[in-house]
Amino acid sequence: MTQQQSGQVMERIEIMLHPRSIAIIGASAKLQYGGRFLNNLLEAKYSGSIFPINPRYEELMGVRCYPDVSSLPEVPDLAAIIVPFESTMTVLEECARKGVKTGVIITAGFAEKGTDERKAAQEALCDFTRRTGMRLCGPNCLGIANVKDRIWSCSAALPDIQTIAAGNIALVCQSGASAFGPFLARARDRGLDFSYIISTGNEVDLDTSDFIRYCIHRPEVKSIVAYFEAIRDSDKFRTVAKEALALGKPIVAIKIGRSSAGQRAALSHTASMTGSDQAYDALFKQTGVTRLDDWDEVLDVASLLAKTPPFHKKSIGIVAHSGGVASLLADKCEQIMEVPPPSDTTCQGLEAILKGRGSSANPADITWHAFEEELVDILNLMLNEDAFGGVILGTAGSDNQAKRIIGAAEKTQKPLAMLWTGSEREVKGLKLLQSSQVPVFYSVETLGKAIKASLYYHRIREYYRAGGS
């Protein structure tokens, strides 16, 4: 792809995600795909023009309905195609004639069906985009969402869409049901919010690499969560992933198809040939992409990579309110890096606070001092200790505790991460921490994976910066 071509793609994705007007071809009154698309735009209070298209209605959900694309009073920025499979091409041709520049095809039934006829139908979509220059997301996807601007161009079932906050993580996902399902649900559970949610389906035109490239250039995006069944053009992905690395926008990914059963499933899901798993591992490794196998893990690791500076030394200080939690953390961390003893000065500083209770070693067991004012001094002592490249704190408490932790994190150049030892439903303390720059973990396992990912990510960034290739 030339730079000019790439420029056009970025421009079109910009339009797709910030359309001033949207046509919904196949809108309907029922809350199935066509009705949900319209409903989502309305529920999210989309401020642009909405043009439902369906010859059987004069009006849908209070919005004037048009019989076809030709009769629209203006050229919409984005067309959503939610018509029966057989009508897809007719409708697309009509869009092209009208001058529509971008489309999201929700309609399924293409190459994923596995028959020659359906593969040919998908091929025809490719030809169409080349011929007309109209840029497409899909088919067989659930749509795209610009969360910040509340533009939910998607057919997902989303109750309480108004309450979904915008954040710093971009989600680019080949499975629509996963994107608007577990990824969105679990991100909300842990107070992590997305800037964009993009489901790409069969990718006849724009693919995950295109959308990732768009996202890494947006200042509000701090990290990318990606879900792949296949990467169709691995050279293109490598280029984009290296661009992301240079820009300091970490990518954390699930790539399915490790197993033959998973490969079979991907083929019938989005017609993806998943390819050699080892080749993917190598591709991700070369480009600093963290690969994991679980949505919760991917989200928590993306949050740490987005929020914390590098662990500039391979050593860590550990603090907890409980000896048991301290030991658990030490066990996990020592599998990855050093957990060295602190200097005498730090020990003495801690001893002056602990007065014989708990332990001033590393890990430090600070007992009930974790819940008091002096937590600030303890964290400062640990963060200022030269022997530690970062600090992990394991505890759970009040809003006041959270404020002390956030305050300490704001004053340091070192990473400070948190293992939350309380309920994941807690409002006191937890909500504040989740919305702060301190990454919060609920599982020692995942915290370990995140530290490992951060070490690798920053090492490979350094390697390329130093001229590696």
Binding site for a copy of itself (CB under 8 A): 113, 173-175, 177-178, 181-182, 185-186, 188-189, 227, 229, 254, 256-262, 264-266, 268-270, 293-297, 318, 321-328, 330-335, 339, 356, 358-359, 361-363, 365, 396, 421-426, 442-445
233 phi and psi angles, rounded to 5 deg: -125, 95
In the complex, what is the shortest distance from the CB of residue 140 to a copy of itself, in angstroms, rounded to a whole number?
9
Cβ proximity to a copy of itself: between 185 and 247 the closer is 185
Of 332 and 404, the one with the shorter C-beta distance to a copy of itself is 332
Question: Between residues 78 and 271, which has the closer beta carbon with respect to a copy of itself?
Answer: 271
- With CA atoms as reference, report the closest residue to 252 among 225, 231, 216: 225
Residue among 77 and 365 whose Cβ is closer to a copy of itself: 365
Query: CB 324 → a copy of itself: shortest distance, Å?
Result: 3
Nearer to a copy of itself by Cβ, of 175 and 436: the residue is 175
Instruction: Please state the φ and ψ torsions of residue 222, each to the nearest 5 degrees.
Output: -105, -25
We find the least distance from the C-beta atom of residue 421 to a copy of itself, in angstroms, to be 4
Q: For residue 189, what are the contacts with CB-CB under 8 A and spacing of at least 6?
A: 424
DSSP code per residue over 294-352: -HHHHHHHHHHHHHS----SSB-EEEESSHHHHHHHHHHHHTTSB-PPPPHHHHHHHHH
Biggest CA–CA distance in the chain, Å, is 81
**Cβ closest to a copy of itself, residue 243 vs residue 277:** 277
CB of 425 to a copy of itself, least distance (A): 6
CB of 299 to a copy of itself, least distance (A): 11
Shortest Å, Cβ 162 to a copy of itself: 16
Least distance (Å) between residue 44 CB and a copy of itself = 19
Measured from the CB atom, the residue of 65 and 105 that comes closer to a copy of itself is: 105
Q: Which is nearer to a copy of itself, 367 or 384 (CB)?
A: 367
Q: Which is nearer to a copy of itself, 248 or 262 (CB)?
A: 262
Cβ-Cβ contacts under 8 Å for 93 (sequence gap 6 or more): 128
Pairing of strands 143-146, 151-154: antiparallel
In which residue are the tokens 């359906």 written?
118
Complex with a copy of itself: residue 335 or 345, whichever CB lies closer: 335
Q: With 0-12 CB in 10 A as exposed, 13-18 as middle and 19+ as buried, what is 222? A: buried
H or E, element range at 154:
strand 151-154
Give the whole-angstrom CA distance, residue 333 versus residue 47. Answer: 49
User: Residue 141 CB, nearest distance to a copy of itself (Å)?
Assistant: 11
What is the smallest separation between the CB atom of 417 and a copy of itself, expressed in angstroms? 16
Residue 257 CB, shortest distance to a copy of itself, in Å, is 7
For residue 153, the cross-strand partners are 144
Q: Which value, to the nearest 10 degrees, does the dihedral of the CA atoms of residues 200, 102, 145, 27 take?
A: -100
How far apart CA 396 and CA 222 sit, in angstroms, is: 26
CB 29 within 8 A of CB 78: no
Whose tokens are 């050699």? That residue is 276
8 Å CB contact between 281 and 234: no
